[in-house]
Amino acid sequence: MAFELPPLPYAKDALAPAMSAETLEYHHGKHHNKYVTTLNDLIKGTEYESQSLEDIIRNTAGKPDKKKIFNNAAQHFNHDFFWKCMKPGGGGKPTGELARKIDESFGDYETFRKQFADEAGTHFASGWGWLVSDGSKLKVISTHDAENPLHMGLRPVITCDVWEHAYYIDYRNERPKFIDAFLDNLVNWDFAAQQL
């Protein structure tokens, strides 16, 4: 079955000014959509056509001749996950079980926040910043290009897209300002808590 571009979980102008309607127009409507249509073209008539998105990612990871399928499948997953990681009026400190888990894994929220901002802010070139769970602890990692933690035995909890197309309209070259806005005004901790 062909994959479809999932609708955004909020109105296009709902995240402004931290993320503008214009950014979402291009990022969701053009970039994400292109990954979905390219993936559908690539898997048509292949064994992957009947597989779930997660299975396609795991089954093509690390195979040089399947790199195009992996890239587009992983980018579809990563963007779908990223939209859910944000909400209007989000950001700030998490509460409850997730807050306890962050304290246990990093010492305190401030240490986690600095580690995430540094990792995502200084990641070289295109990629993704992640808060992941290895089953017992939470960790901050970054991945290159379309790479995704699913096939690394890690469960994604939060991700932030640090490709230039994620922030250039709103922040130009100032990626760290975008990461600050993501952490302080956008991140959806309720969604993150459901991933534990």
Nearest approach in angstroms of CB 96 to Fe ion is 29
Nearest approach in angstroms of CB 85 to Fe ion is 12
- Which residue of the chain is nearest Fe ion when measured via CB? 161
Which is it for strands 127-133 and 138-144: parallel, antiparallel or unpaired?
Answer: antiparallel
Site mask for Fe ion (CB under 5 A), range 149-188, x = bound: ------------x-x-------------------------
Nearest approach in angstroms of CB 113 to Fe ion is 22
Nearest approach in angstroms of CB 161 to Fe ion is 4
Q: Compare residues 163 and 182 and give the one whose CB is closer to Fe ion.
A: 163
In angstroms, the Cα distances linking 56 to 26, 61, 68, 150, 187 are 26, 8, 12, 11, 27
Q: Compare residues 36 and 138 and give the one whose CB is closer to Fe ion.
A: 36
DSSP 63: -
The dihedral sign for the CA sequence 25, 54, 44, 162:
positive
* Strands annotated E in the chain: 127-133, 138-144, 155-161
Six-digit token string for 108: 């305190």
Count of residues touching Fe ion (by CB under 5 A): 2
Q: Compare residues 106 and 163 and give the one whose CB is closer to Fe ion.
A: 163
Six-digit token string for 23: 């950014």
Q: Compare residues 81 and 163 and give the one whose CB is closer to Fe ion.
A: 163
In angstroms, the Cα distances linking 64 to 68, 71, 114, 144 are 9, 11, 35, 16
Nearest approach in angstroms of CB 78 to Fe ion is 7
Q: Which residues bind Fe ion (CB under 5 A)?
A: 161, 163
